[in-house]
Structure 1
């Protein structure tokens, strides 16, 4: 397999990859099942052409040596054991100047949402997904800090205690935002003036404490698809007459799995939103 370029074992029960795999210099794409089960390449691996690495399990110290793998990484997804210190992320990421997509699964500590130190020089980064509790994080309204061209942002299990909308609303290129599974544990969110100017898709799911959601009339003018799912304390739908949302999309605000009389055709229509 000395000329292997792509390895995809996502739909298998493989738990160990041979160490010799990481000596194949032609390797470009590696896909493994999400989670920490399959370990990533050792820090000393020489994979100069690696472009995609998803989703390998790594110890916290592994990130400190990511730059030795490849500066050509375009998509990186990691699942790790332990608590990831904020500073551990910033240095290796600063050298991945071609990175388009970043997924990190695991708790992150001691940082500030939107701090510019997190993503230095990553002007090409368009997609970020964080899955895991953020400890000792706070929001930075005055300093967004995320990459300026970010188009897609997914936060899951973050347990943010402060309303994230004033900060995230300043991501002017953002088109898709998903806050899910306890990403925010407060009971009130407000989208700010002129916030989310390019946002087209918004999903709020499993935010168990959310009761109120307000939207300034100048915010989310491009919103066309909205989902609010399993937010059982949610009491109000904000005035979205200024947004271009059709009826089918609005129906998805219901927890349709528990609504009596929901037709199969309606379920199929909602599934097409994915």
Structure 2
């Protein structure tokens, strides 16, 4: 929907609507028809700068993307989350806020998330407290992506044995302050794909990777402070593909000499010392 409306009109019959995109319409867009959020076929609601003044029930939504300053995030989404049994995919852009519109430093308790959530993407949330202790308790989460300032802290810990029981895909992108990441034995027992991209302060991958006996693909891109991969990565016999892109030559050489059990190892755009000023 491309319009300069400040109020979304009552259309009446949304039953056949499958996709709705509303993006960056002024400061806020107000809606007046609660039926909009009761559509059983609506799979993606892209709602930018939305202010809800009427009671809203979102029980039927399967997938929702909330963009930027979204007042309804705290007021409605997390309040109704335990009843959102059909909501499987959730993307949140921008800082989370509750009724007070004060930015949140941490995620709500895991019990406030939709119970059947399988996919979660956070963008620019600027969380100051480690989100992993909350997210690892989501029983059905299979895909997690923390993007571009989603978390601004220095350390992150997956410390619970059995945490993230069904997580298969984990993507960490541009967590610019992240220096330390700990993974305890037994955490993420189902992880198959791990991507770490532009976490430039991260010096070591967690030793706990050696316990991930389901890991198949490991991709590391432009983490130029990374000194070495875990010594016991050789124990992960399921690992079939390792891709290192824009990584320092010294690290690549160490990997060539120590990691030999992986069938496919890809070195892409090797980062040399003189290139740091270009990409910096």
Q: Give the alignment's TM-score, normalised by structure 2.
A: 0.70
Decide whether the 8 Å contact of 1:86 with 1:118 is kept in 2. Answer: no
Query: In the aligned structure 2, how far is the partner of 1:27 from the partner of 1:41?
Result: 22
Counterparts of 1:220-259 in structure 2, within 5 Å, are: 220-238=212-230, 239-243=232-236, 244-246=238-240, 249-250=241-242, 252-255=243-246
Counterparts of 1:87-166 in structure 2, within 5 Å, are: 89-108=77-96, 109-110=103-104, 112-113=106-107, 115-119=109-113, 122-139=114-131, 141=133, 146-156=137-147, 157-166=149-158
Distance change >3 Å, CA 217–CA 223, structure 1 → 2: closer
Pairwise CA RMSD of aligned residues? 3.5
Decide whether the 8 Å contact of 1:101 with 1:127 is kept in 2. Answer: yes
- Indicate the residue corresponding to 2:31 in structure 1: 42
Query: In the aligned structure 2, how far is the partner of 1:196 from the partner of 1:89?
Result: 27
User: What residue ranges of structure 1 are gaps of 5+ in the alignment?
Assistant: 1-8, 259-265, 269-274
User: What residue ranges of structure 2 are gaps of 5+ in the alignment?
Assistant: 97-102, 250-265, 269-280
Query: In the aligned structure 2, how far is the partner of 1:171 from the partner of 1:230?
Result: 26
Distance change >3 Å, CA 20–CA 90, structure 1 → 2: closer
Structure 1 position 242, deviation (Å): 2.6
Structure 1 position 26, deviation (Å): 1.4
Q: Give the alignment's TM-score, normalised by structure 1.
A: 0.71
- Indicate the residue corresponding to 1:272 in structure 2: none
Query: In the aligned structure 2, how far is the partner of 1:62 from the partner of 1:104?
Result: 17
- Indicate the residue corresponding to 1:30 in structure 2: 19
Decide whether the 8 Å contact of 1:22 with 1:45 is kept in 2. Answer: no
| Matched residue count | 237
Decide whether the 8 Å contact of 2:128 with 2:153 is kept in 1. Answer: no
What do residues 166-223 of structure 1 show as CA deviations (whole Å, max 9, x unaligned)? 25871111000011122x6231222211121100000111112111112236621100
